[in-house]
Structure 1
Amino acid sequence: MPPATHRVVLALLAAAALSLTACGASGGGSGDDAATTLGEKEGSVSILARPGYVEDGSNQPAVDWVSPFEKDTGCTVTSTIYDTSDQAFNLMKSGEYDVIAASGDASVRLIDAGILAPTNTDLIPNYAGIYDYLKMQPWNSLDGVAYGVPHGYGANLLMYNADVVSPAPTSWDVVFDKGDAYSGKVTAYDSPIYIADAALYLMTHRAVLGIQNPYALDTDQLAAAVTLLTEQRGNIGEYWSDYRKAIQSFESGDAVVGTTWQVIANGLADGFATEVTVPSEGVTGWSDTWMIASGAKNPNCAYAWLNYIASPEANGQATGFFGQAPSSQAACEFRSAGSCGAYHAGDADYASTIWFWVTPVADCLDGRSDVRCTDYADWTAAWQQITR
């Protein structure tokens, strides 16, 4: 598991949270600016999330965990979909959203920018049932203070068309050093955070670089990752951020090998000879967190949503639909048979092998103090250089 890091910028809970009393709170991972009481629900809540996280039956009538929440709480849900963490960060800056489901490559930036409020988990009864290894991590806490409620997690896996890619790959070299064999049909995730996948590969194959954490790269280490990704660029047929388009690329044959999520593999039509594997170098991944905006207009409904979506039934439905591990063992009762085992739910040792997304910062996440590490702005500039 990537080591925890200390960040010095504290996000403040906005005084505009009218019906929440902000003062010192004890226990539950609460900070001095976290709410201590809940007031009357405002009647609505605005949510920003990835596709498949806030389903109300309008896409598939049988897929609906929003309507029960609205009926039980009186809080009407409006939701907006984002595809990348950069989009999510920019949308949250607008102040129009009460709640976001954020990955680690956005959550740290949001906390440091003061856009998110500390979370008093004492006000969220279902928090107690969440796996301990998902709580108080570098991507959802700061200085011992909780920022949000873990939702679900998954790995960035390697998928390949077994009819085309042979022999079956066991290494990420099939998309890097040996990617020429499938030139034009390699696919990769379209985000600066994908640089970490190249860094993870270099940890094994260019040990002389001394990379210890794929999110903690000094200037020379970042340059090496950029070189590898620039070489890969010639073999990329398509970068993807919308998992639905990734499904289409594999079904059409435009892509035969590359980075995937389990939901992509699950979404392929029957008859496609695709396989998913964990390469020998390991994997990056995501652990998403439901978080409340510091300037939330509807903080009471926001807290109600965080508690509801952490309930075993709602969490089981939502994470099962998207294709990821749930946040609690109790949620497995509301998943299809065998699915929790397939995603290694509850397996802390397995989760510790995933390098979950964390925003790169100048204070090196690997503990080095004698060098400045590159931050997310550096990674963004590098990604623009790679993909231009």
Structure 2
Amino acid sequence: MRRLTTACAVMGALAFVAAACGSSNTPSGGGAAAPKVYNSIGQGEGALKLIAWNGYTEDGSNDPNYDWVHPFENQTGCKVSVKYADTSDEMVTLMRQGGGSVYDGVSASGNATNKLIAGGNVAAIDPALFPEFTNVISPLQPATGTNNSHYVVNGYVYGVPYMYGPNFLMYNTNLVKPAPKSWDITFEPTLNGKANPYAGKLTAYNDPIFIADAAVYLKTHNPSLGITNPYELTSDQLDAAVSLLQAQKPLLAKYWALYTDEIDGFNNKSIVAGTAWPINLTYTKDSAPAAAVIPSEGVTGWADTWMISANAPHPNCMLEWMKYTMEPKVQAEVGVWYGAAGSNTKSCDLIAKSLGKGGAQLVNSVEYSFCGNVDFLNSLYLWRTPQAACGDDRGNTCMDYSVWSQKWTEITGASEGRRLSLATASAPGLVDVVSDEADRPAGTRTRVSAFLFRHPRLRLGGLLGAPGLWFLVVYLGALVVMYATAFWHLDAFTGLVVKQFSLSNFKRIVDVPVYRNVILRTAGIAAAVALTDIVLGFPVAYYAARLAPARRRTAVLIAIVLPLWANYLVRIFAWKLILSPGGLLEWLFAKAGMHVTIGSSLVAVWIVFCYLWLPYVILPIYAALERVPGSLLEASSDLGARGWRTFRKVVFPLIVPGIVAGSIFAFSLTLGDYIVVQLVGKSAFIGNVIYDSVGIANDIPFAAAFALVPLAIMSIYLFVAWRLGAFEAL
């Protein structure tokens, strides 16, 4: 115990030192220092690396009729590569990789542009380099625009306008009747005094900025709140929007971040209405009856800007791309493909012409964002980063983006899942090494062997040196860095990490009820899974170890490990199909005359976890049972003990380490998993909060602090297991 205390003290000291040494004066304002300004375009570097929304950089691979990338490459000699992002926070994270030297530019929306500008991640440009600025729609004009604060700051112009559009209400025209005129069908549990008929078949955008959509709705339906701007919310106003979104959650089939998720939902009719982008409508209409409307309360929207990194590796190619994307022909192609309006007003006629008959009417409709309509653009509440400064006489009483991100985590609990990756390695040249060793003179080998025999510590050092170094640097080093990062925090405006000691992340975990609930929920399900797998696994292990003949034992053991040969995701998706509404389980219950739907409940998550980790529990118990000497059982019988007493007094105490060892696997794997919850359930687990903090919220310090929670839980669990002798059975 003394060693454990000493280790904790050392870790704490290291964290404090790391936090102190890493302190920095991260800017928290709106970019007071003069930015880097590009005022000339030189010779292209031959390459260009972009971050973009899907549909913004088509190269003909999706449809050969839509390709504006290859003409640019042929024109400039700059080879384009693109990384697509699903959220603005993901774009900010990508742009900051390698100190901003990985990517050249980004097609950023307003809730990303302000962060990038304040963080000094993007450079300003001289508008004189881009002749098409004269044709940009008036609200977005850099000098005289009324809706340009997302890219014009302190007189500096950070990029060139690209496309703009609304976040409108899309609905299934066959299933949603009459056509909606209000957002109430997505927010209200009752409509006209009756239960909302679309409950469970609605969707919403998975991003903290969606809180603004709720604020727009409340601005009309609860005027007493005094909301004037959906991005300038005081604590009470934000709480009202959060309450509305929490009440909305049961009405939703799912949140979407990847636009194809909503399209798929409309195609399979699991979604009938929800917030959408123009590209969602454009491609939903190909296979499902869909339309869009601007509800009476109004809508949020976005005006995207191509911005150049302050440390762009290929700045001239990026400037050429920015110049190219302002051309009306290019924006017209994007407009037809994506469904958005081009910032260059000359693109509108070209869009209408490309659409053919009826194009003039379409381009002046919600489907193409009323292209060129100044009043419509001014009516949009364009995305921007919430700040503490309200922008009026309320001063700094508004809630900044960090609070919005925290509230969004409380609302959604978990987000839809994304990616896994695997790496493999080989060991070439092994035969040559062995061959060289064999060819070495016997005398040398003997002398080396004798020397190492006389110096056991040196021999041990040579054996364990490399793996020990790896353990110290990679494993423990990573833990120390994580531990130190947990005591840092994000700047509320720039989103940059402030490397100064702070307990704010831990205070947030303790003070916010949703995080306490997540911890209790995760630990509770982990314990339930471990207990269930012990109950299910013990009879199988006992049969294999004590009762089954040799051949049958082999068959049983193969059957136990056989599921592990299948891909982890395949097994999860198989259970998702079984448990989903209309799936096999529901069908079986229906045949028995019962209506039972497990769906995405915690019960479904518990079932899948139990299935996944059951082999890991059975095998240690099997190993423990196999080691119980038969002579002890015979002695117990000779002394008059019956079967149950023999099990309770002889067998069970001997196999407790094996049971605890199996429970370690089930408990720890459940505690850290987030894929199952994303694919099967809806409630948040610890892993989901960490994942969302890294991905959606881009809050690495909070993710590190929250990652210490399962570390602490498992430390206690492993200490108890060690005291019970479980490590001997691993």
TM-score by length of structure 1 reads 0.89
- Which one-letter code corresponds to 2:160 in the other structure? V
Instruction: Name the SS of the counterpart of 1:194 in structure 2.
Output: helix
* 2:115 equivalent among 109, 115, 124: 109
Q: Does 1:39 align with 2:62?
A: no
| Deviation of 1:112 (Å) | 0.6
| Deviation of 1:204 (Å) | 0.8
Instruction: Name the SS of the counterpart of 1:58 in structure 2.
Output: coil
Q: Distance in 2 between matches of 1:273 and 1:61?
A: 25
Alignment of 1:1-388 (within 5 A): 8-10=30-32, 13=35, 33-94=36-97, 95=100, 96-136=102-142, 137-178=148-189, 180-270=196-286, 272-335=288-351, 336=354, 337-338=359-360, 339-342=362-365, 343-365=369-391, 367-388=392-413
The answer to which of 117-126 and 231-240 deviates more is 117-126
Name the structure 1 match of 2:555: none
- Whether the 8 Å contact between 1:11 and 1:117 is mirrored in structure 2 is no
Paired residue total: 362
Instruction: Name the SS of the counterpart of 2:188 in structure 1.
Output: coil
Q: Distance in 2 between matches of 1:333 and 1:202?
A: 37
Q: Distance in 1 between matches of 2:312 and 2:34?
A: 12
> For residues 294-325 of structure 1, what are the alpha-carbon distances to aligned partners after superposition, in whole Å with 9 as ceiling and x for unaligned?
11111111110000011111111122211101
- Whether the 8 Å contact between 1:290 and 1:306 is mirrored in structure 2 is yes
Instruction: Name the SS of the counterpart of 2:342 in structure 1.
Output: coil
Instruction: Name the SS of the counterpart of 1:175 in structure 2.
Output: helix
Unaligned runs of 5+ in 1: 1-6, 14-32
Q: Distance in 2 between matches of 1:47 and 1:273?
A: 34
- Whether the 8 Å contact between 2:334 and 2:340 is mirrored in structure 1 is no
| Deviation of 1:74 (Å) | 1.1
Alpha carbons of structure 1 residues 90 and 8: separation in structure 2 relative to 1, 3 Å: closer
Q: Distance in 2 between matches of 1:167 and 1:340?
A: 24
| Deviation of 1:34 (Å) | 1.2
- Whether the 8 Å contact between 1:55 and 1:65 is mirrored in structure 2 is yes
TM-score by length of structure 2 reads 0.48
Alpha carbons of structure 1 residues 284 and 152: separation in structure 2 relative to 1, 3 Å: same
| Deviation of 1:211 (Å) | 0.5
| Deviation of 1:42 (Å) | 1.1
Instruction: Name the SS of the counterpart of 1:97 in structure 2.
Output: coil
| Deviation of 1:148 (Å) | 0.6
The answer to which of 304-313 and 370-379 deviates more is 370-379
Q: Distance in 2 between matches of 1:167 and 1:53?
A: 34
| Deviation of 1:269 (Å) | 4.6
Which structure exhibits the higher relative contact order, with contacts defined as CA atoms closer than 8 Å and separated by 6 or more residues? 1
Instruction: Name the SS of the counterpart of 2:243 in structure 1.
Output: helix
- Which one-letter code corresponds to 2:381 in the other structure? W
| Deviation of 1:266 (Å) | 1.8
Name the structure 1 match of 2:685: none
| Deviation of 1:186 (Å) | 0.9
- Whether the 8 Å contact between 1:265 and 1:276 is mirrored in structure 2 is yes
Higher strand content, 1 or 2: 1
The answer to which of 171-180 and 46-55 deviates more is 171-180
| Deviation of 1:77 (Å) | 0.8
Percent identity between the two aligned chains: 40
The answer to which of 194-203 and 60-69 deviates more is 60-69
Name the structure 2 match of 1:17: none
| Deviation of 1:84 (Å) | 0.6
Alpha carbons of structure 1 residues 250 and 334: separation in structure 2 relative to 1, 3 Å: same
Q: Distance in 2 between matches of 1:167 and 1:316?
A: 33
| Deviation of 1:12 (Å) | 5.4
Q: Distance in 2 between matches of 1:44 and 1:11?
A: 30
> For residues 178-231 of structure 1, what are the alpha-carbon distances to aligned partners after superposition, in whole Å with 9 as ceiling and x for unaligned?
464322111001100000000000101111111100000011111111000000
Unaligned runs of 5+ in 2: 1-28, 143-147, 191-195, 414-730
Instruction: Name the SS of the counterpart of 1:215 in structure 2.
Output: coil
| Deviation of 1:271 (Å) | 6.3
Q: Distance in 2 between matches of 1:333 and 1:221?
A: 42
| Deviation of 1:162 (Å) | 2.8
Higher helix content, 1 or 2: 2
Name the structure 1 match of 2:457: none
RMSD of Structure 2 on Structure 1 (CA): 1.6
Q: Distance in 1 between matches of 2:72 and 2:151?
A: 24
For the pair shown, the structure with the greater C-alpha radius of gyration is 2
Alpha carbons of structure 1 residues 312 and 11: separation in structure 2 relative to 1, 3 Å: farther
